[in-house]
Structure 1
Amino acid sequence: MSGAAVNNSARPVTHNPSCTSRLSWAKLSWRFLLRDWRSGELWLLVAALLMAVTVSTAIALFSDRLQLALGRQVAEVMGADMVIRSSRPVQESLQTEAREQGLQLSTVLEFPSVVMAGEEMQMISAKAVENNYPLRGHIRTADQPFSPDQRVDDIPQPGTAWLEPRLFPLLGVDIGDKVMLGNTWLTITRAITLETDRGGDFYSFSPRLMFNLNDLESTGIIQPGSRVSWKAMLAGERDQLEGFKAWAEPKLDDSERLIMADDSRRDLRDSVVRLKQFLGLASIAAMMLAGVAVAMASQRFAERRFDSCAVMRCLGASRQQVLRLLVGELALVALLVALPGVFSGWLLQEGLVQLLKGILPAWLPEAGWMSMVVGGATGVITLAGFGLAPLLRLQAVSPLRVLRRDLSPAPAASWLVYGCSLLAVFLLLWYHTGGLMMALILAVTSGVVLVLISLGIQFALGYFGHRHSAAGIPVFWRPAVSRIIQGKGKTSAQLLAFTLTFIAMAIVLVLRTDLLDRWQNDLPENTPNYFAMNIQPAEVEAYGEFLAEHQVDTSQLYPIIRGRLIRLNDLPVREAVSKDEQDDHTLNRELNLTWSENLPEKNQLEAGQWWESGSNDGLSIESELAQRLGITMGDRLTFIVSGTEFTETVSSIRTVQWESFRPNFYMIFPKAVLEDLPATWLNSFYLGSDNKLLLNELITRFPTMTLLDLDSVIRQVQVMLAQSTIAVEAMLAALLIAGLLVMVSVIESTIDERLREGALIRSLGGTRRQLLLMQVGEFILFGILAGLLAATGTELATYFLTTKVFELAWQPVWYIWLALPLFGGVVLGGVGWLGIRRVVSESPANILKEV
Structure 2
Amino acid sequence: MNSTRTKTSFGWLLKMAWRDGKASSRKLILFMASIVLGIAAVVSIQSFGENLKQNIALQSKAMMGADFKINMDQEPTPQVTAIIDSLGGAQAREISFSSMAAFPGKNSTKLVQVRGIEGSFPFYGDMETTPPNAAQQFQKKGGVLLDATAMLQLGLQPGDQIKIGEVTLPILGSLKSVPGSNAFFSSLAPPAIISYDFIEKTGLVQTGSRINYEFYFKDPSTDLEQLDEKLDDRLEEFDADLDTHISTSERLGKRYENFGKFLNLVAFIALLLGCVGIASAINIYIKGKLKAVAILKCLGTTKKQSFMIYLLQIAGMGFLGGILGTIAGLLLQQLFPLLLGDLLPVDVQINFDLQIILMGLLLGVLMSVLFALIPLIGTLYVSPLETLRARSSSNKRSGKAEIAVLSAIFLFILFFSFWLLKDWRYSLAFVLGIIVTFAILAGIAKLFMKVIRENFPTSWGFPARQSLQNLFRPQNQTLTLVLAIGVGTFLISTLYFTRDILLAQASLDSQSNSPNMILLDVQRGQESNVTKTIRDNGSKVIDDIPIVTMRVQSIKGRSVNEIRGDSLSDINGWVLNHEFRVTYRDSLTNSEVLSSGNWTAEVEATNLIPISISDNFAEDAVVEVGDRLTFNVQGVIMNTEVGSIRTVDWSQMQPNFSIVFPKGVLESAPQFRVITTKVENEAASAALQQQLVSLFPNISIIDLRQVLRVVEEILNKIAWLINFMAFFSILTGIIVLLGAVRTSKFQRIRESVLLRTMGARSKQILKILALEYFYLGVLGTLSGILLSFISSLLLAWLLFDATFVPSLFPFLILFPGITLLVMIIGLTNSISVIKSPPLEVLRKESY
Q: CA deviation at 1:827?
A: 4.1
Aligned counterparts of 2:270 and 2:727: Cα–Cα separation in 1: 11
Shift in CA distance, 665/280, structure 1 to aligned 2, threshold 3 Å: farther
Shift in CA distance, 828/682, structure 1 to aligned 2, threshold 3 Å: same
The residue number in structure 1 matching 2:380 is: 395
The residue number in structure 1 matching 2:287 is: 303
Q: CA deviation at 1:559?
A: 1.5
1:255 aligns with one of 214, 223, 234: 234
Q: CA deviation at 1:365?
A: 1.0
Amino acid at match of 1:342: T
CA contact 2:797–2:803 (8 Å) conserved in 1: yes
The residue number in structure 1 matching 2:830 is: 836
Query: Which secondary structure does the structure 2 equivalent of 1:766 belong to?
Result: coil
Q: Does 2:352 correspond to 1:383? A: no
Q: Does 2:579 correspond to 1:595? A: no
Aligned counterparts of 2:705 and 2:637: Cα–Cα separation in 1: 39
TM-score (norm 2): 0.71
Aligned counterparts of 2:291 and 2:227: Cα–Cα separation in 1: 66
The residue number in structure 2 matching 1:781 is: 775
Aligned residue-pair number: 768
Shift in CA distance, 802/330, structure 1 to aligned 2, threshold 3 Å: farther
Gap regions ≥5 residues in structure 2: 73-79, 98-113, 147-159, 198-210, 236-240
Q: CA deviation at 1:43?
A: 1.9
Aligned counterparts of 1:789 and 1:630: Cα–Cα separation in 2: 45
Q: CA deviation at 1:83?
A: 5.3
Amino acid at match of 2:306: V
CA contact 1:70–1:272 (8 Å) conserved in 2: no
Deviations 1:490-531 (A, max 9, x none): 64444433433332333234334445666877999x997985
> How do 1:337-486 and structure 2 match up within 5 A?
337-350=321-334, 364-367=347-350, 369=353, 374-404=359-389, 409=394, 425-433=413-421, 440=428, 443-449=431-437, 451-452=439-440, 469=456, 471-472=458-459, 475-479=462-466, 481-483=468-470
Shift in CA distance, 583/555, structure 1 to aligned 2, threshold 3 Å: same
Shift in CA distance, 15/708, structure 1 to aligned 2, threshold 3 Å: same
The residue number in structure 2 matching 1:184 is: none
Gap regions ≥5 residues in structure 1: 1-12, 97-104, 113-124, 142-148, 177-187, 214-226, 237-242
The residue number in structure 2 matching 1:682 is: 674
Query: Which secondary structure does the structure 2 equivalent of 1:561 belong to?
Result: strand
Query: Which secondary structure does the structure 1 equivalent of 2:543 belong to?
Result: coil
Shift in CA distance, 140/453, structure 1 to aligned 2, threshold 3 Å: closer
CA contact 1:106–1:133 (8 Å) conserved in 2: no
Query: Which secondary structure does the structure 2 equivalent of 1:592 belong to?
Result: strand
> How do 1:543-562 and structure 2 match up within 5 A?
543-550=530-537, 556-562=543-549
Aligned counterparts of 1:233 and 1:315: Cα–Cα separation in 2: 81
Aligned counterparts of 2:468 and 2:567: Cα–Cα separation in 1: 62
Amino acid at match of 2:747: E
CA contact 1:133–1:155 (8 Å) conserved in 2: no
Query: Which secondary structure does the structure 2 equivalent of 1:557 belong to?
Result: strand
Q: Does 2:290 correspond to 1:324? A: no
Query: Which secondary structure does the structure 2 equivalent of 1:651 belong to?
Result: strand
CA contact 2:66–2:216 (8 Å) conserved in 1: no
Shift in CA distance, 754/712, structure 1 to aligned 2, threshold 3 Å: closer
Q: CA deviation at 1:167?
A: 11
> How do 1:526-545 and structure 2 match up within 5 A?
532-533=520-521, 535-536=523-524, 538-545=525-532
Query: Which secondary structure does the structure 2 equivalent of 1:656 belong to?
Result: coil
Aligned counterparts of 1:235 and 1:847: Cα–Cα separation in 2: 80
Aligned counterparts of 1:622 and 1:137: Cα–Cα separation in 2: 43
Shift in CA distance, 252/408, structure 1 to aligned 2, threshold 3 Å: farther
Shift in CA distance, 322/671, structure 1 to aligned 2, threshold 3 Å: farther
Shift in CA distance, 189/27, structure 1 to aligned 2, threshold 3 Å: closer
Deviations 1:700-757 (A, max 9, x none): 8558x46589999969877655543543454455554444333323333322322222
Q: Which moved more, 1:612-621 or 1:839-848?
A: 612-621
Shift in CA distance, 545/91, structure 1 to aligned 2, threshold 3 Å: closer
The residue number in structure 2 matching 1:153 is: 135
> How do 1:116-155 and structure 2 match up within 5 A?
129-133=118-122, 138=127, 152-154=134-136
CA contact 2:441–2:486 (8 Å) conserved in 1: no
Aligned counterparts of 2:311 and 2:23: Cα–Cα separation in 1: 16
The residue number in structure 1 matching 2:645 is: 651
Aligned counterparts of 1:753 and 1:294: Cα–Cα separation in 2: 19
Q: Which moved more, 1:815-824 or 1:749-758?
A: 815-824
Shift in CA distance, 680/90, structure 1 to aligned 2, threshold 3 Å: same
Aligned counterparts of 2:344 and 2:503: Cα–Cα separation in 1: 18
The residue number in structure 2 matching 1:146 is: none
Q: CA deviation at 1:542?
A: 1.7
Alignment RMSD? 6.0
Query: Which secondary structure does the structure 2 equivalent of 1:324 belong to?
Result: helix
Q: CA deviation at 1:535?
A: 0.7
Amino acid at match of 1:57: V
Amino acid at match of 1:502: T
Deviations 1:119-175 (A, max 9, x none): xxxxxx99654424275785889xxxxxxx99953475579687999997876x665
CA contact 1:785–1:821 (8 Å) conserved in 2: no
Aligned counterparts of 1:732 and 1:514: Cα–Cα separation in 2: 19
2:490 aligns with one of 500, 503, 507: 503
Aligned counterparts of 1:666 and 1:166: Cα–Cα separation in 2: 40
Q: CA deviation at 1:652?
A: 0.7
Q: Does 2:713 correspond to 1:724? A: no
The residue number in structure 2 matching 1:564 is: 551
> How do 1:668-707 and structure 2 match up within 5 A?
668-671=660-663, 674-675=666-667, 677-683=669-675, 705=698, 707=700
Shift in CA distance, 676/90, structure 1 to aligned 2, threshold 3 Å: closer
The residue number in structure 2 matching 1:584 is: 573
Amino acid at match of 1:306: L
